[in-house]
Structures are given as structure tokens and as C-alpha cells.
Amino acid sequence: MGSISTLLSTPHFFSPTTFGRKKVQTQKKRETVIPDPDYRIPIVLLGLAGGLAYSDNLLTAAPVGLLGLLLLFQTTRVRFVFDDEALEVKVGDQLEESGENVFVGGKNRWKYSTFVNWELWWPNFPILVYFKETQTKPEGQIHFFPVIFNGKQLYDTMVERAGPTKTSGPK
């Protein structure tokens, strides 16, 4: 049989519920969500560029086609990773860090608690996601990303993690 000092040192002898105190519930950790890639926007842009080239409008076809190729390449490698506390942009099959943000500096990781607002344009065929956060700059930093992910998964995860958007939503 154990001594009294052993009994007193065990965690359940003086548990948080002892003497009428309530036990503090810990929040269940949410699983990490990575929306699937969606190639619709790059394919539409490449098709548009092909149509423009076919109609001898090469001056317009070239930039549209290059944008389509860039988004096609980025769709194969860029991922939004929604962990329990933040949204992070990662790259590659191994989900490596994307490095320093080339526009505003700092890591491409933002806590949901710093989101001021976010939008998904256009809900039926989303092409652009916008969010404003106060982690990068206290007055707020705006971010725009092309929707190269499954728009429904992206919307549902943003609502769950960052709260509802102010004006848009799937119809």
C-alpha cells in the first residue's frame, strides 16, 4: 500500500473537481483541412486564349494564355492548409513552407482570430478569395488569392474556422 505522500501527489487526489470546483473543459482540436485542387479557372483561361488565338487576336491571347499556364502550374503545387488555429499557404507534395510573403513580408500563415473579413467571389463559380487580417499590420492587411481549390470546401472551411463572411455565400 502506498504512503500518504504518494496519495497526495497523485493527480486525481486533488483534481479540479475536488472541493466543488468545476473541471475546465479543453476544446477538441480540429483536424487539418486541405481543399482539393480545382483546375477550372486555368482551363477556362487556356480555352479563352485558344479561342482568341484562333480568331487572330494574338495580342490578347498571349497574356490570357500565360495567366492560364501560371494558374495551371500553381494549382498543381500551392495548397491552403487550415489547421486548428491558422490558415497557411504551403507548396509541393510535401507541403513545405512557402517562404517569405513577397508583397508584405512575414510568413504566409494567419491566425483565424485576426481575420477581420473575408469574401469569396463569385459564390456559384468562385474565382477569387479575399481576406483582411490584423496579424501582419495592426490596421489590417488585405490578401487576394485565385480560387485554385475546390470552392465549396474552401467556403465551408472558411466559415467553420474564420466565421461567416459579411456579404457572400453559396446560393
Q: What is the mean pLDDT of the chain?
A: 82
| Beta strand extents in the chain (DSSP E only) | 78-82, 86-91, 96-97, 109-111, 115-121, 128-133, 141-146
Q: From 136, 160, 25, 166, select the one nearest 85 (Cα to Cα).
A: 160
Pairwise CA distance, residues 142 & 127, whole Å: 17
Three-state DSSP at 2 gives coil
Pairwise CA distance, residues 47 & 94, whole Å: 31
Kindly report the pTM of this predicted structure.
Answer: 0.73
How many other C-beta atoms can be found within 10 angstroms of the C-beta atom of residue 80? 21
Q: Which residue has the cell 485565385?
A: 146
Q: What is the pLDDT of residues 114-167, one digit of tens each?
A: 999 999 888 778 899 999 999 888 898 898 999 999 999 999 999 999 988 876
pLDDT at 13 exceeding the cut of 50: no
